[in-house]
Amino acid sequence: MSTAGGRTPLIGVLALQGGFAAHGRALERCGARVREVRVPTDLDGLDGLVLPGGESTTLMLGFAREGLGEPLVEFVRSGRPVLATCAGMIVLDRERLGALDLRCERNAFGRQVHSFEDELDLDGLDGPPMRAVFIRAPWVAEHGPGITVLAAVDGHPVAVRQGAVTAVSFHPELTGDDRLHAALVTAAGTQAD
């Protein structure tokens, strides 16, 4: 995807842990250039960012080790588009980095053996319901007025938006449905101009 100015958006994928390679492939299928993010300088020049799943405690330890916490918060607050999935959603909540006005409940649907798939209609996403893979997934336990709930399971928010950030508690990189990644690339294209 080339923007009106001719530059293809450059999207970062946090690559400390988790399914970052699958997110990178999805972004490339959507026409983006991809850079793995491991240290603060990897955020320089990015038009958008993906915070993938993994284990939130391990991610927070990695942020502390690499000095990534504050630079990630600054990036999220910059207005550039961000897609946070599963543990990526958790680390942005009030109790961790504080970048989103919400609180996640970790492993809300249960442990690994309680993983499941569901069909979700996400507000603002055209097409059929999205197949959502939930693995030790969180849900949004509470949120402030600036959060828009895009989808819920059993009354619990599992997809939300705050400003330019879309945060979901499932793994869109596992299904081959690239619509969330495509939306990120499209939004990042406006940053690239």
Catalytic residues: 86, 171, 173
Nearest to 95 by CA among 151, 57, 133, 128: 57
Cβ-Cβ contacts under 8 Å for 61 (sequence gap 6 or more): none
- Please give the Cα distance from 134 to 131 (Å, whole number): 10
Residue by residue, DSSP assigns 96-119 as: TT--SSEEEETTTT-SGGG-EEEE
Tokens of 146: 């600036």
Sign, CA torsion 174/77/90/163: negative
